[in-house]
């Protein structure tokens, strides 16, 4: 396979995955964000690795561009303290316990949908009766996908394909909210 063919095929796969979502699901996610914002609550985003970076980017864009109060759990002191004191698998759940308010919306991002800290965070969000959107990939029956009020799933086993798709979907929601005035 030529280098050019690799990139053509790769980008074709990304485009296919981006368009694999029902636009109604993205509109539903935007509506959830809009309702949370209008009720005076916040959106809390969390992920691991590339998904954590994405959570930071999307939280800032929601706040700056769409006028939606949004935060993420990417502070080194928060992560290391909570992971040390409660175990890495429990840090998201504990952070939600300490920082989430009734009526908030939680957005949890995990490429595999099997990250224990995200799954435990989803269970905590449910126990606190918080609305939750999950973004995952890999197995269609991954644990995180079974726990959200709305679950956006990418049919792929490639971390980069899943992460890029999640990122574009989330930024499409930001742009939709911006274009439709929140």
Domain with 96 in it: 3-179
The CATH number linked to 38 is: 3.40.50.10490
- Count of domains observed in the chain: 1
Q: Which residues contact 7 (CB under 8 A, 6 or more apart)?
A: none
Q: Which residues contact 150 (CB under 8 A, 6 or more apart)?
A: 25, 28, 29, 32, 132, 133, 134
CA distance 36 to 104: 6
The model's pTM is 0.96
Per-residue confidence of the chain (182 residues) as pLDDT tens digits? 788 999 999 999 999 999 999 999 999 999 999 999 999 999 999 999 999 999 999 999 999 999 999 999 999 999 999 999 999 999 999 999 999 999 999 999 999 999 999 999 999 999 999 999 999 999 999 999 999 999 999 999 999 999 999 999 999 999 999 999 85
Q: Give CA 48 to chain center in angstroms.
A: 10
Q: Exposure of 63 by Cβ count < 10 A (0-12 exposed, 13-18 middle, 19+ buried)? A: middle
């Amino acid at each position: 396979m030529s280098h050019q063919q690799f990139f053509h095929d790769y980008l074709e796969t990304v485009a296919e995955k981006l368009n694999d979502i029902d636009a109604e699901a993205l509109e539903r996610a935007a509506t959830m964000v809009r309702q949370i914002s209008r009720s005076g609550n916040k959106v809390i985003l969390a992920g691991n690795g590339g998904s954590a970076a994405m959570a930071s980017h999307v939280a800032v864009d929601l706040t700056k561009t769409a006028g939606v109060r949004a935060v993420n759990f990417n502070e080194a002191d928060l992560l290391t303290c909570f992971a040390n004191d409660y175990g890495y698998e429990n840090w998201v759940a504990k952070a939600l316990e300490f920082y989430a308010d009734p009526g908030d919306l939680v957005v949890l991002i995990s490429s595999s949908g099997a990250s224990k800290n995200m799954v435990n965070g989803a269970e905590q969000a449910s126990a606190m009766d918080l609305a939750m959107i999950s973004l995952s990939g890999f197995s269609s029956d991954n644990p995180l996908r079974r726990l959200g009020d709305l679950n956006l799933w990418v049919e792929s086993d490639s971390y980069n394909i899943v992460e890029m798709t999640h990122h574009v979907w989330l930024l499409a929601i930001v742009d939709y909210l911006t274009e439709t005035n929140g």
